[in-house]
């Protein structure tokens, strides 16, 4: 209402000197956007070449040589302002002006003008201080209107993004940030629209293009400035260039990935060496035991051969002798095949194993492993009880590696029962749900002290006497079972024996299942 009222007041200035020119400049040039041009309609001065008269004519205002002409109805003047200190002119206008025209004297206007100028100086000084503060801040600061026009930008933004002030102010943000002459595509999240939608500040990391066309990563916070409830007058954007940080993080990530790949490869090589080392240790023990097992059939074959040679030498060949020869030959064949099986199993166990997955019969693998360890069990006087379910499904895995696990289990059980002599080893294999098999090795040996249970699967941890083992067996077994997607657990009490439970999926899985309460597990 007040602005409409002021816009309808037509002002006439009397006195067109330098002061008049300054008033016209201030009210018609600087304040033109605020509608101040409509306030001053005419300027009166007897000197047509006075500075104020010349500027008034240039601005298209009414110029008069006689102040009294301001009274004419066609000029519709509502207020006269004296811009000269002539007291006679003040008296003349006071005594001659119509009653509807108001008058402001020179002294009164000068007082108001000086007060306005003083406030303006303060505001300009304050603005300079604020601008210096903004330009001193390393973060980017922009002021953006609701129609996405940039109206202010600090020096940090202009310098870092490579723009001059004229290239930014008055431009749409999408023209500067994305080099687009239209609103951002749907793929590009607009933080301004996000603020409007969520009615609160927005924080995000965006990609923007600088003046040189280079892609930059910018961390952006947008604050809304509310003009009234529900209406935003402008947005304040505070942002910073994090391009170098992002590139550094990407480089660190790339290096870490390479280091992990290298370390994984080294660990794999180490694991393969440990598996082979453990296998060779087991092979040494098996070989010593197998020698005795082979000696018996070889001695039998040799004796039968000598017997047959003596019979032939005596020349006593008849039907009865030939029948004996057939019996001797069958025995020699049986013993030879027995030796062949033992040697074949030993050679198969000794070769370098790899994770070659094939479908196989677990029952047959356990039987073959027991045959390989037959003499060890006999020497240790261990009685084996097998409880292998008839409906065991075939599983997919590495026979060689799993045989190495079973060899370790049988060997450890036999050694645990040696001090007292004799004992029972129960080996059971049962389905564990539809997709897994549980193999359990339960012995009646000396058991494992409670304090040693947490360390059983640690490499090189052993309670055996020097020369009896290097502490790799259970560690390697743990790794092999984990590779098959299974898990291994131990329950033991000193003096009562040990139970080792191995659960294997029918097909190798990626994740191992959780440990049962009370069981000791290897580290993850």
Each residue of 394-408: pLDDT tens digit? 999 988 788 878 888
Of residues 226 and 333, the one with the higher pLDDT is: 226
DSSP conformation letters of 355-366: ---EEE-HHHHH
Q: How many residues comprise the chain?
A: 524
Q: Are residues 114 and 143 in the same domain?
A: no
Q: Which percentage of the chain shows pLDDT scores above 90? A: 20
Q: What is the dihedral of CA 385, 388, 389, 394, to 10 degrees?
A: 180
What is the model's pLDDT at position 42? 93
Question: Order of strands across the sheet with 11-14?
Answer: 62-64, 40-44, 11-14, 79-82, 102-104
Of residues 26 and 102, the one with the higher pLDDT is: 102
What is the model's pLDDT at position 77? 92
We report the CATH number of the domain holding residue 147 as: 3.30.450.20
What is the model's pLDDT at position 184? 66
What is the model's pLDDT at position 89? 92
35-39, 150-154, 247-251: least confidently modelled range? 35-39
Q: Are residues 103 and 149 in the same domain?
A: no
Residues 421-456 as b/e (b if ≥16 CB within 10 A, e otherwise) read: eebebbbbbeebeeebbbbbbbbbbbbbeeeebebb
Segment 60-77 mean pLDDT = 93
204-218, 267-281, 360-374, 437-451: least confidently modelled range? 267-281
Q: Are residues 471 and 392 in the same domain?
A: yes
Q: Are residues 116 and 77 in the same domain?
A: yes
Instruction: Indicate the average pLDDT of the chain.
Output: 78
pTM given for the model: 0.40
Q: How many domains does the chain have?
A: 3
CA count, 13 A, side-chain hemisphere, 185: 4
Q: Are residues 342 and 430 in the same domain?
A: yes
Q: Are residues 62 and 146 in the same domain?
A: no
We report the CATH number of the domain holding residue 73 as: 3.40.50.720
- Rounded (5°) CA angle 359-360-366: 150
- In angstroms, the CA 37 to CA 409 distance is 102
Tokens linked to 449: 């002290």
Q: Which of 101, 123, 145 is the last residue of a domain?
A: 123
Q: Are residues 293 and 439 in the same domain?
A: yes
Among residues 70, 115, 69, 86, which one has the least CA distance to residue 15?
Answer: 86
Q: Are residues 25 and 85 in the same domain?
A: yes
Q: Are residues 95 and 178 in the same domain?
A: no
Residue 515 predicted with pLDDT over 60: no
Neighbours of 223 (CB within 10 A): 13
Tokens linked to 464: 């055996």
Domain annotation covers residue 513? no
Give the Å distances, CA to CA, from 93 to 67, 74, 297, 439: 8, 18, 147, 120
Mean pLDDT comparison of 70-79, 181-190, 202-211, 408-417, highest-scoring range:
70-79
Q: Residue 56: CB partners within 8 Å, gap ≥ 6? A: 13, 16, 20, 24, 42, 43, 62, 63
- Alpha helices, DSSP H only, in 59-139? 87-96, 106-136
24-28, 264-268, 290-294: least confidently modelled range? 290-294
Q: Are residues 380 and 475 in the same domain?
A: yes
We report the CATH number of the domain holding residue 461 as: 3.30.565.10
Q: Are residues 336 and 474 in the same domain?
A: yes
Question: Which residues constitute the domain of residue 116?
Answer: 2-123
Residue 484: Cβ-neighbour burial (10 angstroms; 0-12, 13-18, 19+): buried
Segment 461-473 mean pLDDT = 52
- In angstroms, the CA 385 to CA 174 distance is 80
Segment 217-229 mean pLDDT = 84
Domain annotation covers residue 99? yes
Question: Percentage helix, strand, coil, to 5, in the chain?
Answer: 50, 20, 30
Residues 358-394 as b/e (b if ≥16 CB within 10 A, e otherwise) read: eeeebeebbebbbebbbbbbeebebeeeeeeeeebee
Domain annotation covers residue 130? no
What is the model's pLDDT at position 351? 53
Residue 123 C-alpha from the chain's centroid: 49
What is the model's pLDDT at position 310? 73
Each residue of 280-320: pLDDT tens digit? 665 565 565 556 556 656 766 777 777 777 777 777 777 77
Residues 287-325 as b/e (b if ≥16 CB within 10 A, e otherwise) read: eebbeebbeebeebbeebeeebeeeeeeeeeeeeeeeeb
Mean pLDDT comparison of 70-74, 196-200, 327-331, highest-scoring range:
70-74
Each residue of 116-161: pLDDT tens digit? 888 888 888 887 776 776 666 677 888 888 888 888 888 888 887 8
Q: In the structure, what pLDDT confidence band is assigned to residue 187 with cuts at 50, 70 and 90?
A: low
Neighbours of 72 (CB within 10 A): 12
45-59, 210-224, 229-243, 295-309: least confidently modelled range? 295-309
Q: Are residues 294 and 442 in the same domain?
A: yes
Domain annotation covers residue 522? no
Q: Which of 241, 258, 286 is the last residue of a domain?
A: 241
Q: In the structure, what pLDDT confidence band is assigned to residue 198 with cuts at 50, 70 and 90?
A: confident
DSSP 251: H
Residue 326 predicted with pLDDT over 60: yes
Tokens linked to 241: 């260039």
What is the model's pLDDT at position 281? 62
What is the model's pLDDT at position 277? 64
Q: In the structure, what pLDDT confidence band is assigned to residue 462 with cuts at 50, 70 and 90?
A: low
What is the model's pLDDT at position 220? 86
């Amino acid at each position: 209402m007040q602005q409409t009222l002021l816009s309808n007041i037509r002002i006439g200035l009397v006195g067109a000197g330098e002061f008049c020119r300054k008033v016209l400049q201030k009210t018609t040039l600087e304040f033109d956007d605020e509608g101040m041009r409509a306030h001053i309609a005419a300027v009166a001065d007897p000197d047509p070449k006075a500075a104020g008269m010349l500027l008034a004519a240039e601005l298209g205002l009414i110029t008069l040589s006689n102040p009294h002409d301001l009274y004419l109805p066609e000029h519709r003047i509502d207020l006269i302002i004296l811009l000269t200190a002539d007291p006679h002119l003040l008296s003349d206008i006071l005594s001659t002006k119509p009653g509807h025209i108001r008058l402001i004297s020179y002294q009164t206007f000068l007082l108001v003008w000086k007060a306005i100028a003083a406030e303006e100086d303060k505001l300009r000084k304050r603005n300079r201080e604020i601008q210096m503060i903004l330009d001193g801040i390393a973060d980017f600061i922009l002021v953006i209107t609701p129609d996405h026009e940039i109206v202010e930008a600090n020096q940090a933004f202009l310098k870092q993004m490579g723009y001059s002030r004229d290239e930014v102010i008055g431009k749409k943000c999408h023209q500067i940030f994305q080099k687009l002459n239209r609103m951002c595509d749907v793929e590009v999240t607009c933080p301004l629209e996000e603020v409007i939608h969520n009615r609160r500040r927005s924080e995000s990391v965006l990609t923007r293009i600088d003046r040189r066309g280079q892609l930059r990563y910018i961390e952006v916070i947008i604050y809304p400035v509310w003009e009234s409830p529900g209406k935003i007058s402008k947005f304040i954007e505070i942002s910073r260039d994090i391009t170098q940080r992002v590139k550094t993080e990407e480089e660190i990530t790339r290096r870490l990935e390479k280091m992990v790949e290298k370390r994984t490869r080294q660990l794999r090589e180490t694991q393969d060496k440990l598996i082979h080392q453990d296998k060779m240790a087991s092979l040494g023990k098996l070989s010593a035991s197998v020698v005795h097992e082979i000696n018996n059939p070889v001695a039998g074959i040799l004796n039968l051969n000598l017997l047959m040679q003596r019979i032939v030498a005596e020349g006593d060949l008849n039907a009865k002798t030939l029948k004996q020869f057939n019996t001797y030959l069958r025995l020699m064949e049986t013993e030879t095949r027995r030796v062949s099986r033992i040697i074949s199993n030993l050679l198969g166990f000794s070769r370098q194993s790899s994770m070659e997955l094939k479908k196989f019969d677990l029952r047959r693998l356990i039987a073959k492993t027991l045959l390989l360890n037959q003499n060890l069990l006999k020497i240790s006087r261990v009685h084996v009880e097998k409880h292998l379910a008839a409906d065991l499904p075939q599983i997919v895995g590495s026979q060689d590696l799993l045989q190495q696990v079973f060899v370790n289990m049988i060997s450890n059980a036999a050694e645990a029962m040696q001090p007292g002599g004799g004992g029972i080893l129960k080996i059971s294999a049962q389905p564990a749900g539809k997709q897994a098999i549980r193999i359990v090795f339960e012995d009646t040996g000396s058991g494992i002290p409670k304090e040693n249970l947490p360390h059983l699967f640690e490499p090189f941890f052993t309670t055996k006497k020097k020369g009896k083992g290097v502490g790799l067996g259970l560690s390697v077994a743990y790794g092999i079972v984990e590779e098959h997607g299974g898990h291994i657990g131990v329950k033991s009490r000193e003096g009562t024996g040990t139970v080792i439970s191995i659960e294997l999926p029918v097909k190798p899985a990626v994740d191992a299942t959780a440990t049962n309460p009370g069981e000791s597990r290897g580290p993850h």
